[in-house]
């Protein structure tokens, strides 16, 4: 496994999707040395002899060839290189190619990169390229949930998990759709260069430094937002008072509703019950304290309203599929941030 992250190479294929390509360029191609962050030797390369025409009609001119992969620390396949509307067509991987033989030189270099310990990653439907290269066989992986069944059908030896944001299987990493590509790229940075670098890049991008709650990689359902004039301010108040006892009757009284009406309105507007919403918010509050402070886990549990470390652990496992201690080991920032 590569323990450095200096040279990043991105093969551009026909039908490359612009959002995921942009994510890779933003994370690894942007010079943030003014913030004291590392810079990367970043290259877009032509992944096939076929012109890399996007589905929007314009062509990407990638200035380098496949040889750039040979000493790369990280190779990332953006979404695309596929036509998801015609996955039954055996030539879908290479766009306008007649068959996938034009991609075999890329496949060979991707396999060689994995063999020498470099990381090879895909974003969204880029997983189909890794599958065609034989790199998903026997490995846990993921892709956009709309295409996960097809990925499993096409590559039956792949261990496709449709319920995760991303999967880190050592040298081969895969992400789910769209914004999950940001999660995976920041995870790679965090794994090699630490939380400070990953969090700083995320701050510059104005995105959460991680959404999946640690190395467990399981999707946690995002907490529903609420634009109701009555409930929206209440949710903000609840978030600021997680350590307090917040029974439904007291919450209902704050918005001048009966408990029964409040519970019904809450579920209708947020998609979940008040108790579930509150538990999930308390887990998120615990995450922040675990990342940013050295407070003992039992103190963290008390501050977010769970009372005991055992109760916090129970709900942390449910939502994040990892323990508070393991989460802290994975995501604790290098320097503690004091909490008053």
What's the topology of domain 221-340?
Arc Repressor Mutant, subunit A (1.10.10)
> Right CATH number for 7-205 from 3.20.20.300, 3.30.2130.10, 3.40.50.880, 3.50.50.60?
3.40.50.880
Q: Which pLDDT does position 87 carry in this prediction?
A: 44
Q: Which pLDDT does position 165 carry in this prediction?
A: 86
Question: Cβ distance 74 to 2 under 8 Å?
Answer: yes
**CB neighbour class for 205 (10 Å; exposed up to 12, middle 13-18, buried from 19):** middle
Q: Which pLDDT does position 284 carry in this prediction?
A: 86
Residues 30 and 333: their CA atoms lie apart, in Å, by 23
Which tens digit of pLDDT belongs to each residue from 82-94?
A: 654 444 444 445 4
Q: Which pLDDT does position 338 carry in this prediction?
A: 43
What are the structure tokens assigned to 265, written together? 């309105």
Higher pLDDT, 86 or 33: 33
What are the structure tokens assigned to 107, written together? 């496949």
Direct distance between the N- and C-terminal alpha carbons of the chain, in angstroms, rounded to an integer = 40
Q: Which pLDDT does position 64 carry in this prediction?
A: 87
Buried b / exposed e over 32-44, threshold 16 CB at 10 Å, is beeeebeebebbb
- The pTM of the whole model exceeds 0.75: no
Cβ-based neighbour number of residue 1 at 10 Å? 9
Question: Cβ distance 121 to 174 under 8 Å?
Answer: yes
What are the structure tokens assigned to 230, written together? 């009555």
Question: Cβ distance 168 to 187 under 8 Å?
Answer: yes
CA atoms within 13 A on the CB side of 305: 19
Residue 340 confidence (pLDDT) above 90: no
Q: What value does the mean pLDDT of the chain take?
A: 84
For the chain, where do the domains classified as CATH 3.40.50.880 start and end?
7-205
DSSP annotation of 90 reads T
Q: Which pLDDT does position 157 carry in this prediction?
A: 97
Question: Cβ distance 200 to 223 under 8 Å?
Answer: no
Which tens digit of pLDDT belongs to each residue from 266-285?
A: 888 877 899 988 998 899 89
Question: Cβ distance 164 to 214 under 8 Å?
Answer: no
């Amino acid at each position: 496994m590569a323990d450095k992250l200096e040279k990043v190479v991105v093969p551009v294929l026909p039908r490359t999707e612009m959002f995921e390509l942009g994510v890779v360029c933003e994370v690894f191609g942007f010079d943030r040395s003014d913030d004291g962050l590392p810079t990367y030797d970043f290259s877009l390369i032509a992944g096939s002899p076929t012109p890399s025409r996007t589905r929007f009609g314009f062509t990407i001119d990638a200035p380098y060839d496949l040889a750039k992969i040979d000493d790369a620390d990280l190779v990332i396949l953006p979404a695309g290189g596929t036509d998801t509307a015609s996955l039954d067509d055996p030539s879908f991987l290479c766009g306008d190619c007649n068959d996938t033989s034009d991609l075999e030189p890329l496949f060979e270099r991707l396999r060689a990169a994995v063999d020498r310990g470099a990381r090879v990653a895909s974003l969204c439907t880029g997983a189909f390229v890794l599958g065609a290269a034989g790199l998903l066989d026997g490995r846990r992986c993921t892709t956009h949930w709309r295409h996960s069944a097809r990925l499993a059908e096409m590559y039956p030896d792949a261990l496709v998990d449709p319920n995760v944001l991303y999967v880190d299987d050592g040298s081969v990493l895969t992400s789910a759709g769209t914004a999950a590509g940001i999660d995976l790229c920041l995870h790679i940075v965090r794994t090699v260069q630490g939380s400070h670098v990953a969090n700083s890049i995320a701050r510059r991008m104005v995105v959460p430094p991680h959404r999946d709650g640690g190395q467990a990689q399981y999707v946690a359902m995002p907490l529903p937002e609420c634009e109701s004039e009555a409930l929206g301010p209440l949710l903000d108040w609840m978030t600021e008072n997680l350590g307090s006892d917040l029974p439904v009757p007291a919450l209902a009284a704050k918005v001048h509703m009966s408990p029964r009406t409040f519970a019904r309105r809450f579920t209708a507007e947020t998609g979940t019950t008040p108790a579930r919403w509150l538990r999930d918010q308390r887990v998120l509050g615990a995450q922040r304290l675990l990342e940013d402070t050295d407070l003992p886990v039992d103190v963290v549990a008390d501050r977010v309203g769970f009372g005991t470390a055992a109760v916090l652990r129970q709900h942390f496992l449910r939502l994040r599929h990892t323990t508070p201690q393991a989460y802290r080991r994975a995501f604790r920032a290098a320097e503690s941030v004091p909490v008053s």
